[in-house]
Each structure stands twice: as structure tokens, then as C-alpha cells.
Structure 1
Amino acid sequence: MKATDSLYRRLILWLLLPLLGLGALMLMQAYRSAHDAADRAFDRLLEAASLAIAEQVKWQDKQLWLDLPPAALEMLATDAEERVFYALYDNHGRFITGNADLPAVPGGADTLRFADTHWHGMTLRVGVRPARLDSWSQRERFEVRVAHTREGRDQLTWSLFTGSAGRIALMALLAIAVVLLAIRIALAPLTRLRRAIRHRDPRTLAPLDLPLPRELAELRETLNELLARMRRVRANQERFIGDASHQLRTPLAGLSARAELALRQPDPASWRSALETIQASSARTARLAVQLLSLTRLNNPEATPVTSMLDLVAVARNATRDAFAACHRAGIALELDAPDDAIPLTGIDWQLEEALNNLIDNARRYGARHITVRVQAAPPRLQVEDDGPGIPTERRRLMLRPFHRGAETGEGSGLGLAIVDSIARGHGARLTLDEGRHGPGLCVSMTFQGDRA
């Protein structure tokens, strides 16, 4: 839809166009009615003139004879100055007398009939009256034909039509005014809703409380549901920002305090110990910052990375290779259990690798001595299993929240499983936390839909 389009304009078009069409039909009907009325009025004059002429037909000298009265044709004369014609015919259709040899009109032989006809370049209205002499000695049949041009009829038709058209135009204007007023009144609640939204403080997410008709009330409730979701999102963001600032403030304060303490020591050996502590703390802080950025990017609704066809086995190999050195230095056995054949899947490879890296890093930081990265084909699944202390069943859901750690003694930040959960939801996968296969430990599984390949 174009930006310049409006509901008000569309309603006007959809309501006024049928009204205009109906008005056109009414005008056509008015013209047809005016035409028929003019024909009926002038046909009565033709009927009267033909009757006056027929009454003057006599039988004289063994033939029909007509003494035309002036009034017979004067009654057909109007201000339009039509041309008037008459003719008398015998029983055999022979012309007897008249000022024009008029054409015959089809129809019953004993009935008065009228018809329009073209004659010598003129359009005539012809009236034919069959009659016979009413004498005791002669009952000869004859036919009187009277005709005139249509100027008077057309003038009367136009006069009647203009009167009807004026009334129709007045009713049309009244109908248009009523329609415009009705549309404006009907759209007034929508205008109130628009103004209420426009004049709201952009910082408030309070629900709209505005009396509206049923159709707009549904829109208001939909907007209130959207505002409620935005309130929850903002609350989550504020909580996340608060937790993130707290998590970053603590190690940064520790770094500052350790550096200040080291500066007070004259012994270079103390400086080395402080630097080692500062280096370890800064590494943890840097990792925390990276995880915060990852979680923010994953939870950003505007970020829509492009998916592609990938191989889950290749993703698991890359993640295992990246984490092998850190696990080896910590004395942890890292193992990959994957089939030789590729397992195709539509997804984002760097996100899945980051999910595996976070799971491996969590297991390493929370006391695991043996970590297994497992890939399965039916259905497509990624697993990371360790032999660490595991997570109690009642706390597994809580572990998916940001900054919630399973043990206070670990070095983690509480963001690893939250990042994995966001990546799993972005891939339409089901994330489950179970016990290890061989006793204590944790087995985290991401199970993908089978038709994503």
C-alpha cells in the first residue's frame, strides 16, 4: 500500500463510487421516464387529431371525401413549431387525400397504433386510426394517418428530465454529505486512538486505556499485548545490564586494588605475583566481555545472520580442535565421538561452534577431567558430556539464566549455558540437560529438527 493512501480516502471511494453509479442509473431511468411521458402526452394529441379528422370523412360521388377542419391540425401545433402531416387512405391502402403520403405502421388492422419512423430524412411520430363510414347506405372502411416531427416531444422530454435531474442531484448531494459525515463520525475513534498514541510519552510502556468500538478495541488489546511484551523485554534488558555491570565492576575493582597494592611493594617478586594475578583476572574479564557481547548479539531481534548448509561433524571437529590446547594444559582429556559421514544441516556454523566452545569451557572450569563431544545423525544432535560434579535436577532450568552459576567455586561467569540456549532457540533445536552416561557428570544435548537439512 502506498504511504499516501488513507483509510478515509478508501472509504470515500468505495462508498461514493456505488452512489455515483446508482445516480447515473437514476438519471438514465429519469430520461427514459420523461421520454415515455412526452410520448404518451403527444400520442393523446395524435389520437384526438385523428379522431377529429375521421369524423369529417364522408362518402360523396362514390368515393371518400374529407372536409378537413382547421382545429384538427391546430391541436398538434406547439411552440416547438413541429411539421404536421395527415393523409386519408381507403380500404385497399390507396392514398385519397392529405398533405403527405405517410408510411404505414405495422400492427393490428382494427386498433389505434403509434410508431416512430424515418421519412424523407425526418423522424416522425405516426398515429394510425382505422375507421369506417357510419352511414346506413355505406359502411366503407378507411384509415386516417396523422404524423408530426419530434421537436415538441424532445422539448417536453428535456423539460421533464431537467426537473427530475435537479431533484436527483439534490438528493445525491444530500447523500454525499451524509456519507462524508458518517465516515468522519465512524473514523473518529480511530483518530482518538492515533492521537492517544502520538501524544504518549515515548518512554512509557503503560497499557492504553481508551474507550473504543469493538473492532478498534481488538486493535487496542493487540497494542497492549505488544506493550506488555516490550515491558518484559525492557525489564530483562535492565536486569541484564545490571548484572553485567556488576559482573564487570567486580573484576575491574579487583584489578585496580591489586595494582595499587603492588605499587606499594618494593620487592620485584611481589610485582611479578601481582602481575600474574592481574593477567589471570584480566583474561577472565576479557572472556566475560566477549560472552556479554555474544549474548547481546544473539538476543538482538534485528540481527538476522544468513544461514547456510553445514556439516555437524565438521563443526564438532573445529570446536574440539580450538579447545584442545586449553584442556591439555589443564590435564583434561578431550574426546570427539563422531561418525565418518557428514551430517548436513541448515544453520550458522560459527554460532554452533561457539555453543560447543562454551559447553567445553564450562565443563573444564567446573571440575571435569574427561570431556566427550558427541555427534549423532538420527536425529541430528550435538552433545557435550563430562564427568564433573554435574547440576542438580531442580537447578538445571535456572542454569539457563544469565549470570546464574552452578558453583561459587568455579571460574565461570554464568553466561555459557545462556549463550548455548540462545543459539539452540535460534536454530529451532531442543536443549536438554541430563546426567552423564557413566555416573556423575552433565550431558548437554542440542537436538535439531530432522527436516532442517
Structure 2
Amino acid sequence: MAIGWPRDRKMTEPAAPPSQVSASREPTGRAPGATRSLTARLVTGLSSLLILGGLILAFAAFAYGRTAARDAFDRLLVGAANDIAASISIRDGAPVVDLPVSAFELLALAPDDRIAYQISGPGGAVLTGYQDLPRPTSSARDLVLYDARFKGEPARFIRVTRRFAERQFSGTVEVIVGQTLRARTQLAFSITRNALGGLAVGGIAMLAFAILIVHSALRPLERLAKGIAERDPQDLTPIRAAVPGEVDVLVQATNGFMARLDRQFATMKSLISDTAHQLRTPVAALRAQSDLAAEEDDPARREEIVVKLHAGTVRLSRLLDQMLSRALVIHRADSARRERVDLRDIALDIFEEGDHAALSPGAEIRLEIGDEEVAVLADALSLSEAAKNLLGNALRHGKAPVTIGAEQENGQARLWVRDSGPGPAPELRARLGERFTPGRSGAGRRGASSGLGLAIAQSVAETYGGTLEMESDAPGFTIAIVLPAAEEHR
């Protein structure tokens, strides 16, 4: 046997049992851990979005309203100042002002605002109007708009400069007209209020339509929940429902979960059925033998009965081990994560554990493994249980020596056990994967049963996409778990 390769052996421990979860149900109210409904989330999200957007649009609308109001009323100031400047004339070498009524009619369009004006000649001498009106900081242009305060109130001013170059008078005359900002502020707020009113109506309409759409979209979920609630507790058949693609993912996951539950229930039912069927007879026989031993006075006869009792307890123990092993393997098929497993490790672990010595004392066991990795994606514990059952079956029903090995060829990995006997009859091989199949004649005890060992091996092979193969050749009868080989590490 070739076993001297360097390797990093990793022992796979059985999965820890899941924590116990209370099965009690709440008769009313939401389920434990349930969060807010999608409708409530949508309403909250859209409301927050609309409020935030409304605040942003309110600032933008107010800024736009102030700009629009300023432009509108600035035109009134420009018109009034130009009218006043146009009314200035030169008489006897001095500027004379004839204030036009039209200028003040323009400014009267803002009735709540206060108006101020000043007309000054060369040297800043005030010809008419307020004496102390604020002046602009820049005097380079003939028309200047600026902000200042008038009588403690914010106001908007315009300065228009008219230049004269006549024989009797040469110089400049400045016209300053100001107006407070009450009408401008009112117009800006009016524009903002109108904009936000339209936004509020549109937002409420969007929110209402969104709620209707969500209710319509969630209606398939309500039908699905109703259908599941009305199901019989024993009905674990797949759910067939016309649902949107997004919900179909949930349906498929639920169907997968129910399929795993169905397999678990089937395993428990099978275990209970097998236990009731297979244990009744040997337990009754043990009880009868024990009753005979208690009533027997002949020491020789009593010793014979004790030997039969021991043999019966051994068979019963082996049967219980196989039943529990089968239940464990089927359970791990759905719960254990598939990992990269080297079948050489499985064969070597079984060979080194030496459990076969207790099963068949003195039997010769051999190991045949090579230097190349024989990797598969599976559960190491399940493969180990299956291989142990194959080895135990060969020791009980086959002929020594018995060999266990692993190899890979043509993209397939094989974990095999071979004994030196001829194997079962051809008509019996097709039934060896069934539970409690009668044993092969000519090998081992006559009429013995193969029990669950081969059924366990076949279940493990099918779980991981493989098969259970049997063949007879010159070395003897070989039975192997054949699985797809895993890809090489890169």
C-alpha cells in the first residue's frame, strides 16, 4: 500500500445542533421580528423626500421671487428717475425742475412703500427733495442702482446723472429716487407661496398614487400568504402561484425549504417505520431468550442461551447504528456545507481507526491509495459513514482479505471496498441498495441481511451527484462510491 505522501489532513467535525427555538406562536399581532410594512416605509420615504425637496425648492423659489420682484420694481425706479431727469431744464443759467406726475404714478404702484427723492446740482447743492439721502459708493456711471437704508428701513435707490453743456449752464444734475422694499418682499413671498402650493398638490397626488401602486403590487403577496395559511400542515408540495419575478425568488426559496423539510420528515418517518418493523422481532427474541435463561437450571444449556443473547444484542446494536447513521447522513445532505474532500483521507482515516477489528477480529484489511489527490466536493463525515458501512458489509458478507482504497480516472473519483469473494448473485445485485435486502448466498452467514449499509452508501452517492457501482473481477467483488472529481486548485 502506498500511503507515504505529504498531506495536510483536516478532520471534519459534525455540525453543531441548531439552537432550540421556541415553537410558540403569537395568536394576534405581527410576527416576532416583523418590521414596518412596505406601504409605511414608502409613505415615510416619499414624505421625507417631498419635505426635503420642498425646503430646497422653497429657498430656490424665494430667491427667484426676490430676483423677479427686484427686477420689476427696479424698472419702476428707472422709469420714475428718467422722467424726473427729463423734466429738468435750464432757465437764466440755472437748472429748474418741474416734477412730473407720471413719475410718482409709477412709484404709487407700491402703495405701502415710502418714497424719497433728491435733485442736486453742481457741487452737490440740493435743488429739491431730501437733504440726507444715501449716495452710491461708485460714481463712474450715469445710472447706478444700490441698496441703503431710509429712515431706519431697508430701501432701494437709483441715481441718474444728466449732463448739460449749454451757453448759460455747463455741468451735471443728479437725480436720486428711493423706495422701501415692502412691496418687493410681498411679491417674493407670493411667488414662493404659489410655487409651493403647486408642489404640495403634486406631492400629495404622487404619494396617493404611490400608495395605490404599492397596494396593487403587494396583492400577489397577500394571495400567496393566504394560500400558505390555508394549507394543511402536512402539505409540503411546491407552491404554484402566479407572482411577479421579484416575488418568485421568495416562492422558489420557500419551495426549497419545504422540500428539505419534506426530506427530513420522510427520514423520520422511515426511521420510525424501520425501527418499529425491524426491532420488534429481535427485541422479542432477546426477551424470550432472557426468560429461558432465567428459568434454565442446566449450566450448559444456560451458557448456550447466553451465547445466543450476546449474538442477538450484537446484531441489534449494529442495526441501531445503521439506522442512526442513515438518519445522520440524510440530515447532513441538506444541512452540511460541501467542501473539498480528498477521498484518500477518508480511506486512510477508516483504515487507521481500526473499528473493523471489533467487527471482524483477525480479518486482514488492506489500504490502496496513490500519490495523486482524489478530490471531490462533498461532506467528509457523510462519506466516512458510507465507506464504513461498505467496509462493514464486506467484512460480514465477503471473504478476507478486504481492501479499501481511493482513485481517480476519467474525471471521476472512486472510494471503493473490495473483498476476495465472488460477490452476490446477479439477480440480487440490483436490490442491494434497498433497505434490509437479504444477503448474498455463498458468502458469510446464510440468509443474513445486508441491513442499511448499502442503502446509506447509495444515498450518499446520489446526494453528491454520483452512483454506487458494483463489479466482479479476478481480485474479487468491488463496490464503489463514484463521484464527480473536483477541479484542481489553481
Q: Normalised by the shorter chain, which TM-score bucket?
A: 0.7 to 0.9
| TM alignment of 1:197-346, pairs within 5 A | 197-208=228-239, 210-217=241-248, 219-224=250-255, 226-228=257-259, 230-258=261-289, 269-301=300-332, 304=336, 314-319=348-353, 321-324=354-357, 326-328=359-361, 332-337=363-368
| TM alignment of 1:2-401, pairs within 5 A | 4=35, 6-68=37-99, 72-73=103-104, 76=107, 78=110, 80-87=112-119, 98-99=129-130, 100=133, 102-103=135-136, 115-118=145-148, 123-128=154-159, 144-208=175-239, 210-217=241-248, 219-224=250-255, 226-228=257-259, 230-258=261-289, 269-301=300-332, 304=336, 314-319=348-353, 321-324=354-357, 326-328=359-361, 332-337=363-368, 354-374=385-405, 382-391=415-424, 399-401=432-434
User: How far apart are 1:201 and its partner, in Å?
Assistant: 4.0
User: CA 1:429 to 1:170, structure 2 compared with 1: closer, same or farther past 3 Å?
Assistant: closer
How many angstroms apart in 2 are the aligned matches of 1:347 and 1:180?
48
User: CA 1:247 to 1:51, structure 2 compared with 1: closer, same or farther past 3 Å?
Assistant: same
How many angstroms apart in 1 are the aligned matches of 2:371 and 2:73?
104
What does the per-residue CA deviation read over 1:260-300, in whole Å, with 9 as the maximum and x for residues that have no partner? 67778776655444443333222101110111112222222
How many angstroms apart in 2 are the aligned matches of 1:253 and 1:399?
27
What does the per-residue CA deviation read over 1:155-206, in whole Å, with 9 as the maximum and x for residues that have no partner? 3322443344344334433433333343334323323433443454433324
Whether the 8 Å CA contact 1:81–1:152 is kept in 2: the answer is: yes
What does the per-residue CA deviation read over 1:60-92, in whole Å, with 9 as the maximum and x for residues that have no partner? 1223221335774475355544352333567x9
What does the per-residue CA deviation read over 1:7-55, in whole Å, with 9 as the maximum and x for residues that have no partner? 3344345544443344334323432343244234423432442244234
Report the equivalent of 2:20. Answer: none
User: CA 1:151 to 1:393, structure 2 compared with 1: closer, same or farther past 3 Å?
Assistant: farther
2:478 is aligned with 1:442? yes
User: CA 1:311 to 1:185, structure 2 compared with 1: closer, same or farther past 3 Å?
Assistant: closer
Whether the 8 Å CA contact 1:365–1:412 is kept in 2: the answer is: no
Q: SS at the partner of 2:448? A: coil
Match for 2:236: what amino acid?
L
Q: SS at the partner of 1:278? A: helix
Backbone CA RMSD of aligned residues: 4.9
User: CA 1:198 to 1:183, structure 2 compared with 1: closer, same or farther past 3 Å?
Assistant: same
Match for 2:432: what amino acid?
M
User: CA 1:204 to 1:342, structure 2 compared with 1: closer, same or farther past 3 Å?
Assistant: closer
Q: SS at the partner of 1:103? A: coil
User: CA 1:392 to 1:41, structure 2 compared with 1: closer, same or farther past 3 Å?
Assistant: farther
Identical amino acids, percent of aligned pairs: 29
Q: 1:415 aligns with which of 426, 448, 452?
A: 452
Whether the 8 Å CA contact 2:407–2:414 is kept in 1: the answer is: yes
How many angstroms apart in 1 are the aligned matches of 2:405 and 2:316?
30
How many angstroms apart in 2 are the aligned matches of 1:225 and 1:349?
24
How many angstroms apart in 2 are the aligned matches of 1:136 and 1:84?
32
User: CA 1:8 to 1:172, structure 2 compared with 1: closer, same or farther past 3 Å?
Assistant: closer
**What is the TM-score with the length of structure 2 in the denominator?**
0.70
Whether the 8 Å CA contact 1:207–1:227 is kept in 2: the answer is: yes
Q: SS at the partner of 2:360? A: helix
Match for 2:145: what amino acid?
A
Equivalent residue pairs, number: 443
How many angstroms apart in 2 are the aligned matches of 1:12 and 1:326?
70
Whether the 8 Å CA contact 1:385–1:436 is kept in 2: the answer is: no
What does the per-residue CA deviation read over 1:136-155, in whole Å, with 9 as the maximum and x for residues that have no partner? 99999866442223233113
User: CA 1:255 to 1:183, structure 2 compared with 1: closer, same or farther past 3 Å?
Assistant: same
Unaligned stretches of 5+ in structure 2? 1-32
